[in-house]
Amino acid sequence: MNTEEDSFPILGIDYIQFFVGNAKQAAHYYKCFGFTPIAWMGLETGSRDSVSYCVQQNEVRFVFTGALGPDGPMAEHVRLHGDGVHDVALRVPDAEEAHRVAVDRGATSVAEPEVFEDEYGKVVKAGIATYGETIHSLISRPDYSGPFFPGFEPIEDAHDDGGLGIKHIDHVVGNVELGKMNEWVAFYERIMGFTELRHFSDEEISTEYSALMSKVVWDGEGKIKLPINEPAEGKNKSQIEEYLEYYKTPGVQHIAMATEDIVATVESMRAAGIQFLRVPGTYYEDVKQRVPEIADKLDALQRNGILADNDEDGYLLQIFSKPVQDRPTVFFEVIERHGAKGFGAGNFKALFQAIERDQAARGNL
């Protein structure tokens, strides 16, 4: 627990919004991850400039927003960055107060508190800037009963049937420029009262070519965990540099989604067409020694290319998708935790070798 918690309470991630080239098709693609489109806004609902679809799976909500013309922030985002995360929206008890506290502590406001209202009630929304062009909306919705947000209409016959087993967001990772990681760690400590969970050095996370530094800030309870990566010296271009080259600015690198049955979740996603990184078969030769807890599941894990790691608190299972848009930028992680509080540092080497094989195939190594 941290002492600042009372002055910047956060209830969880309200939603993550992506700016995309085609919101209708993006919403459809995420069905492959188990999401159901539940609400939307567009020309027919009176939205003249943009189209948005909200998709949901248990506690996880993503919003895909695209422009209806060549001007404005969505069109500009797609031109410069391609599809990517615009907003990691945080649910707070009082958005106006959270915004005031954040700005008092030095955050840059991107949206003053505003009340949005429709027949289902009201939502208060404000916003502050974080790394790159990413923002944190601050959302309070104590009594709102609509499908998502005022102005969105429910999609008929849509119901979240539990999807493919994704329950909540485990962590959201940002890539920042060389030398900027500590600045952003300090930002979350100063503005939100977060503390550093742990950090990984470039020795721990390095392969022959790619290296990165990573620190994790969190709210002290585990509802919000935000690892922040920066590139480190390597023989060749690191995966973080490849991201920055294509995204053109710091931004969200990956979103980890938690399941209680990673084998079933991943088998279903793969059957639906999601592509995951593959580690070589030799990875499974020593994983039984490293993570003895998984002995009875080894066949199913190996069959699905799922990785395992442990720390003093327990073990975890994880797998990473390939990038989900044309540019090699945002990807997803599926994670099943059994006590472990880490992020799979023991897998970084095998994993980065797999990433680098793909990077080489793209001509970017």
Q: Which is nearer to Fe ion, 67 or 181 (CB)?
A: 181
Angle between helices 348-361 and 239-247 (to 10 degrees): 50
Q: Is 113 left (phi over 0), alpha (psi -120 to 50) or beta?
A: beta
Q: How far is the CB of 171 from Fe ion (least distance, A)?
A: 6
Comparing C-alpha atoms, which of 345, 45, 59 is closest to residue 216? 345
Torsion of CA 356, 359, 363, 365, to 10 degrees: -40
The single-letter DSSP state of residue 133 is T
4 binding Fe ion? (CB under 5 A): no
Q: Which is nearer to Fe ion, 256 or 287 (CB)?
A: 256
Q: Which stretches of the chain are assigned E, i.e. beta strand? A: 12-19, 36-41, 50-57, 60-67, 84-91, 109-118, 121-129, 135-140, 153-154, 166-175, 195-200, 212-218, 225-231, 251-259, 307-311, 314-320, 331-338
Residue 93 backbone dihedrals phi, psi, to 5 degrees: -65, -30
Q: How far is the CB of 333 from Fe ion (least distance, A)?
A: 5
Kindly indicate which of the ranges 13-21, 52-60, 174-182, 332-340 contains the residues binding Fe ion, using the contact rule CB under 5 A: 332-340
Q: Which is nearer to Fe ion, 205 or 244 (CB)?
A: 205
Site for Fe ion in 213-272 (CB under 5 A): 256
Distance CA 74, CA 78 (A): 6
Q: How far is the CB of 173 from Fe ion (least distance, A)?
A: 6
For CA atoms 16, 21, 23, 25, give the dihedral sign. Answer: negative
Total of chain residues touching Fe ion, rule CB under 5 A: 2
Site for Fe ion in 43-102 (CB under 5 A): none
| CA 27 to chain CA mean position, Å | 16
Q: Which is nearer to Fe ion, 75 or 354 (CB)?
A: 354
Q: How far is the CB of 128 from Fe ion (least distance, A)?
A: 24
Q: Which is nearer to Fe ion, 54 or 256 (CB)?
A: 256
For CA atoms 280, 284, 287, 293, give the dihedral sign. Answer: positive
Q: Which is nearer to Fe ion, 92 or 291 (CB)?
A: 291
Q: Which is nearer to Fe ion, 83 or 333 (CB)?
A: 333
Kindly indicate which of the ranges 26-34, 153-161, 239-247, 326-334 contains the residues binding Fe ion, using the contact rule CB under 5 A: 326-334
Q: How far is the CB of 256 from Fe ion (least distance, A)?
A: 4
Q: How far is the CB of 150 from Fe ion (least distance, A)?
A: 33
The DSSP secondary structure of 168-232, one letter per residue, reads EEEEEEEE--TT-HHHHHHHHHHHH--EEEEEE-TTTTB-SS-BEEEEEEE-SSSS-EEEEEEE-
Kindly indicate which of the ranges 80-88, 124-132, 325-333, 346-354 contains the residues binding Fe ion, using the contact rule CB under 5 A: 325-333
Q: Which is nearer to Fe ion, 97 or 333 (CB)?
A: 333
Q: Which is nearer to Fe ion, 247 or 320 (CB)?
A: 320
Out of 333, 352, 355, 365, name the contact with Fe ion by CB under 5 A: 333
Q: How far is the CB of 191 from Fe ion (least distance, A)?
A: 22
Kindly indicate which of the ranges 2-10, 16-24, 121-129, 331-339 contains the residues binding Fe ion, using the contact rule CB under 5 A: 331-339
- Helix (H) or strand (E) holding 156, with range, is none
Q: How far is the CB of 292 from Fe ion (least distance, A)?
A: 23
Q: How far is the CB of 273 from Fe ion (least distance, A)?
A: 22
Distance CA 314, CA 301 (A): 17
> Contact positions toward Fe ion, by CB under 5 A?
256, 333
